[in-house]
């Protein structure tokens, strides 16, 4: 009886959140261990399916860097990274597109469909979803008077999101699963884009109520290595300046801050290593990550 009462309490706790998010769009960036470990893949697929079942509109944007690296290694091609970004020549871009839009994307779709959802796999080239432009990276060279421009090849940034296809899929009760590959119409080029950037851009374009970035960390840590449940824009900027927030967390934090500054109600970095992390963040009082707010 006590176990049954605990389950009932959990459902009651979730009720106001279910009411709050009904009919709203939530964008989830799917990456890290949640894409690797089988039990986390299963819990993620069930979370997304449940969200759709209760009237929420989830949109999934996924990464796939380790999978790309594995295939490049099998092909005997050594990866090159500059400032944390993969140099992507045409041969590498072919592999990126094959892995992201093919292997990884279709596995996620299959997992959600197996859980009872109706997922549809897309890349940014489908329906003109993600219009991209080539990323320009500058590096200071002491031997030069001006910054050196580094060519990363087929690495892009989001120029424009065309949300019509996503709106049609939502109307027909499908769950979009998006590979972060953009196109450049005039140059007929494909571009590899950071999945966090794509998720943030889609959240802004659709006016999403939430943006969730799944990572392999518990959230944002302060100078004492204590996880912070909420971080303001001013605090995040100070910690990035002081090196408290560093490395791969910087682009994720910037993505969240940019989202809340441009119409997304709330943005979070959450621990994707926790089974059912999405449900815990959305439907419980405690949550499992760091929320970003626009004010102190």
DSSP per position, 56-84: -EEEEEE--HHHHHHHHHHTT----EETT
Range of the domain at 256: 28-287
Report d(CA 266, CA 271) in Å as an integer: 16
Residue 38, token pair as written in the block: 């089988």
Report d(CA 47, CA 193) in Å as an integer: 26
| CATH code where residue 40 lies | 3.40.1160.10
The answer to whether residue 70 is domain-embedded is yes
Q: What is the pTM of this model?
A: 0.91
The answer to whether residue 269 is domain-embedded is yes
As a residue count, the chain comes to 296
The answer to whether residue 201 is domain-embedded is yes
Min mean pLDDT across 3-12, 89-98, 120-129, 228-237 is at 3-12
The answer to whether residue 296 is domain-embedded is no
pLDDT per position as a tens digit, 226-246: 899 999 889 999 999 888 998
The answer to whether residue 169 is domain-embedded is yes
The answer to whether residue 142 is domain-embedded is yes
The answer to whether residue 22 is domain-embedded is no
The answer to whether residue 16 is domain-embedded is no
Number of domains in the chain: 1
Report d(CA 27, CA 256) in Å as an integer: 12
pLDDT per position as a tens digit, 46-100: 999 999 999 999 999 999 988 988 999 898 988 777 766 778 888 889 999 999 9
219: left (phi over 0), alpha (psi -120 to 50) or beta: left
């Amino acid at each position: 009886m006590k176990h049954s009462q605990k389950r009932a309490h959990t459902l009651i706790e979730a009720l106001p959140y279910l009411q709050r998010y009904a009919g709203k769009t939530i964008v989830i960036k799917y990456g890290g261990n949640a894409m690797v470990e089988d039990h986390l893949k299963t819990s993620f697929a069930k979370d997304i399916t449940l969200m759709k079942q209760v009237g929420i509109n989830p949109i999934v944007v996924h990464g796939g860097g380790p999978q790309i690296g594995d295939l490049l290694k099998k092909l005997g091609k050594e990866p090159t990274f500059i400032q944390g970004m993969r140099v992507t020549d045409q041969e590498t871009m072919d592999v990126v597109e094959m892995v992201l839009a093919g292997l990884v994307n279709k596995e996620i779709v299959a997992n959600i469909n197996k859980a009872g959802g109706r997922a549809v796999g897309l890349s940014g080239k489908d329906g003109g979803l993600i219009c991209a432009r080539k990323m320009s990276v500058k590096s200071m060279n002491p031997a030069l008077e001006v910054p050196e421009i580094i060519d990363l090849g087929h690495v892009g940034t989001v120029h424009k999101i065309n949300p019509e296809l996503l709106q049609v899929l939502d109307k027909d009760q499908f769950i979009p699963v998006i590979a972060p590959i953009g196109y450049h119409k005039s140059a007929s080029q494909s571009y590899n884009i950071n999945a966090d950037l794509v998720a943030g851009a889609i959240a802004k374009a659709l006016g999403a109520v939430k943006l969730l970035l799944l990572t392999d960390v518990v959230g944002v840590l302060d100078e004492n290595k204590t996880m912070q449940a909420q971080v303001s824009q001013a605090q995040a900027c100070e910690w990035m300046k002081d090196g408290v927030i560093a490395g791969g967390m910087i682009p994720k934090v910037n993505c969240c801050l940019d989202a809340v500054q441009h119409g997304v109600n709330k943005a979070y970095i959450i621990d994707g290593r926790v089974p059912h992390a999405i449900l815990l963040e959305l439907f419980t009082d405690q949550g499992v990550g760091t929320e970003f707010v626009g004010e102190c």
